[in-house]
Amino acid sequence: MLYYLFDFLDRVYDVPGTGVFKYISFRAALTLLSSLLITMIWGKNLITFLRVKQIGETVRDLGLEGQMKKQGTPTMGGLIILTSILIPTLLFAKISNVYIVLMLAATVWLGFIGFMDDYIKVFKKDKEGLPGRLKIVGQVGIGLIVGITLYWNKHVVIREKIVHSTENAIQTDLEKNNNQAAVFKPSVYAKENTKSLKTTIPFFKHNEFDYADLITWISEDLRDYAWLVFIPIVIFIVTAVSNGANITDGLDGLATGTSAIIGATLGILAYVSGNTVFADYLNIMYLPSTGELVVFMAAFVGACVGFLWYNSYPAYVFMGDTGSLALGGIIAVFAVAIRKELLIPILCGIFLVENLSVMIQVSYFKYTKKRFGEGRRIFKMSPLHHHYQKIGYHESKIVTRFWIIGVMLAVLTIVTLKLR
């Protein structure tokens, strides 16, 4: 909102200094600082309120050292994160931008689903929380909205080099003198905004893949029905990453710090993809209007880093599903919006491994129980971070090492822009 105010003051009254709000980097910096301040100030007040109202976490006894000491720690701290994302974004971003609207919708939608889950656990005393099928329905719902918007909205475009054939025959003096046939000039390339389902493939030289190719190999006439492939893929990505962040949220600061690293990386990718100079230099798709997403991601990173002030070991507050479901969903929607979703297995490697550890553990247990009459386990406990707790690693050491791995994966993700 402040963007429009200062833009008005700059255009109409030419107030000195107001033009600086046109720069994404300036607004992103203000957003980051605002998010940090809101998290720390609002966070302290909310934690006090949660303690007074005895809105605490019900912790299962997993047989882990120090686990039961967390009993009663205030939960639903995800409200701190959501507030610190929404307020700065509304203040400093162009809220008419379709990508910003999409990110705000995803934040509120998934935050509400997580809030309902925490509410049932805390106030209804139901440890199961919101039924899993309802969570999935909610995640599918926002995935459907995102897919439909990105496919049909006229403002969601990419800028491509379009070949314009030149049919005008241009003869040189030599050709005229020798009465030779006319020589046609090569085709001319022009950059135009087009609707496309192209996305980025890491490690390949011509690193663009069109989702429409998954169906047009049957017949080119099916291109208009490419949404039948694209939307389910978007739904799958949103659901998988959202659940991945939820599963990772098991140690103090683990999901928060990992999300901050992922968010900072996505912010860099959004900046270069939404900047004509960097996009041209790196030979990547230029995505008009996506540069504004940097402002949103600055709020996201600021909220995560600020939340660590209270969530790092030993945690004074837990984010609960209110935060974890929203964080994962935001990351997924953001990656899809900037056409970098195929980088998720690398960038979100921590989420992926945590997810896989649970799937492997459950599948192997069921298989061995059916085959041998007793269930066997590959890990001492899943998700993976609990396995390391079981073998004697301190919680803070596990979290720090996961962060280090997250940074390495983030660097590798950025390197893929040139490593082809």
Using one digit for the tens of pLDDT, what is the confidence trace for 83-95? 999 999 999 999 9
Q: Alpha-carbon distance 280 to 145, whole Å?
A: 31
How large is the average pLDDT for residues 381-406?
94
Ranking 148-152, 179-183, 381-385 by mean pLDDT, the lowest is 179-183
Query: Domain of 393?
Result: 2-157+223-415
Domains in the chain, number: 1
* Residue 194 in domain: no
The pLDDT of residue 58 is 64
Q: Is pLDDT larger for residue 333 or for residue 218?
A: 333
Contact criterion met (CB below 8 Å) for 420 and 275: no
Q: Read off the DSSP letter of residue 9.
A: I
Q: Alpha-carbon distance 306 to 93, whole Å?
A: 20
Ranking 65-74, 281-290, 381-390 by mean pLDDT, the lowest is 65-74
* Residue 201 in domain: no
* Residue 57 in domain: yes
Q: Alpha-carbon distance 335 to 332, whole Å?
A: 5
Q: pTM to 2 decimals?
A: 0.90
Tell me how long the chain is.
Answer: 420
How large is the average pLDDT for residues 245-251?
92
Q: Over 60: is that where the pLDDT of 15 sits?
A: yes
* Residue 336 in domain: yes
Q: Over 60: is that where the pLDDT of 352 sits?
A: yes
DSSP three-state, residue 287: coil
* Residue 86 in domain: yes
Q: Over 70: is that where the pLDDT of 172 sits?
A: no
* Residue 185 in domain: no
CA angle 264, 270, 276 (to 5 degrees): 140
Contact criterion met (CB below 8 Å) for 272 and 188: no
The pLDDT of residue 170 is 41
The pLDDT of residue 69 is 67
Q: Alpha-carbon distance 413 to 347, whole Å?
A: 6
* Residue 195 in domain: no
Q: Over 50: is that where the pLDDT of 182 sits?
A: no
At 226, the pLDDT band (50, 70, 90 cuts) reads very high
The pLDDT of residue 96 is 92
How large is the average pLDDT for residues 329-340?
96
* Residue 243 in domain: yes
Share the mean pLDDT of the chain: 88
Q: Over 90: is that where the pLDDT of 162 sits?
A: no
At 164, the pLDDT band (50, 70, 90 cuts) reads low
The pLDDT of residue 66 is 58
